[in-house]
Structure 1
Amino acid sequence: MLQRIQTLYLLLASVVSGVLCIYLPYGMDQNGIELYALGENFLLSMFMGSAVLSLIAIFLFKNRKLQFVLGRINIILNFILLGVFVYWSLTVSGETKISEKGIGMLIPIISIVLLVMANKAIKKDENLVKSVDRLR
């Protein structure tokens, strides 16, 4: 049942985490050079991990509980990524790494919103199946 709405949300979260992180800069250094996730192995692995978790969750449509758990793990991963961005942007003492914030710092927030909406839809499906099972 890949035609459900949570599949669309998970696919969008995967595209946002996996593709947009490559093309949108997350900041600028003191020389005005844009910083991308491709230059940082940690950031790239976190973004790709989030994208892979979303793709795996799409194909677990028969096991909604595991799909829901993977969505929560993915949300936690994006919160950690958001925390790293906030830490880097707040410790800009002496223009060490990031001089200006970029639009790429919003990618985890967009991904979290999409994952929360997917988890709500998964929970709604699970409740619907439970209610139908009660009627039998």
Structure 2
Amino acid sequence: MIQRVQTIFLFLVAVAMGLTIGMELWLQVVPDSSETYTLSAFSMQHLSSSGEVLSSNSTWYLAALAAFVGFLAIISIFQYRSRARQMMINMINSLFMVGIVVIVFLTTSGVNTEIGAADNGTYKIGFWAILVAMVCNMLANRFIKKDEALVKSVDRIR
């Protein structure tokens, strides 16, 4: 049935991945020159203090991974007849989300090392949406397991 609580959590995973694609993930301000580095799902940009783009690197793979995670969450919603398959899709989804977080950390730490920044920068809404999606995915799995246990207990009574 589609009206289960895990459907809401899986839908929130897809919405959070949409936020990840549409919003900035990270911002670092270089204190000496007021230049900024911004990371989004599509690019890493180095901006001058006047806002001119000094350099830009494509990070399309972050957008592709986030879109894939959102797509898998939508697919998982419609796998309600096979709870085992639904849980497997959600576990795979969790691995991809961890991969996105690791890629973001490696990218941002590489920039911080390159510019010799004292702080780690500011993680923006797009990054925090990934973590919200991870929590929602975990909660969806918990409720799927609860449904599976309920079905097994009812089968035992028959």
> TM-score, normalised on structure 2?
0.77
Alpha-carbon RMSD: 1.8
Q: Report the alpha carbon displacement of residue 23 of structure 1 after superposing the two structures with TM.
A: 2.8
Task: Tell me, yes or no, if structure 1 residue 22 matches structure 2 residue 21.
Answer: yes
Please list the CA deviations of residues 18-69 of structure 1 after superposition, one character each: whole Å capped at 9, or x if unmatched.
x202332012366336432133211001100100110000000001100000
Query: More relative contact order in 1 or in 2 (CA 8 Å, sep 6+)?
Result: 1
Q: Report the alpha carbon displacement of residue 108 of structure 1 after superposing the two structures with TM.
A: 2.0
Distance 2:38 2:135 in 1: 26
1:69 to 88, 93, 96: 88
Task: Tell me, yes or no, if structure 1 residue 35 matches structure 2 residue 55.
Answer: no
**Over 4 Å off, 4+ runs:** none
The aligned length equals 133
- Structure having the higher helix fraction is 1
> TM-score, normalised on structure 1?
0.88
* SS of structure 1 residue aligned to 2:24: coil
Aligned residue for 1:100? Answer: 121
Identity of aligned residues (%): 29
Paired amino acid for 1:28: L
- Structure having the higher strand fraction is 2
* Equivalent residue runs for 1:1-136 within 5 Å: 1-17=1-17, 19-28=18-27, 31-32=35-36, 34-39=38-43, 40-91=59-110, 92-95=112-115, 100-103=121-124, 104-136=126-158
Asked if 1 retains the 8 angstrom alpha-carbon contact of 2:72 and 2:93, the reply is yes
Asked if 1 retains the 8 angstrom alpha-carbon contact of 2:21 and 2:66, the reply is no
Note closer, same or farther for the CA distance 1:13–1:3 as it changes in structure 2 (3 Å cut). same
Distance 1:108 1:63 in 2: 26
Asked if 2 retains the 8 angstrom alpha-carbon contact of 1:20 and 1:107, the reply is yes
List alignment gaps of at least 5 residues for structure 2. Answer: 44-58
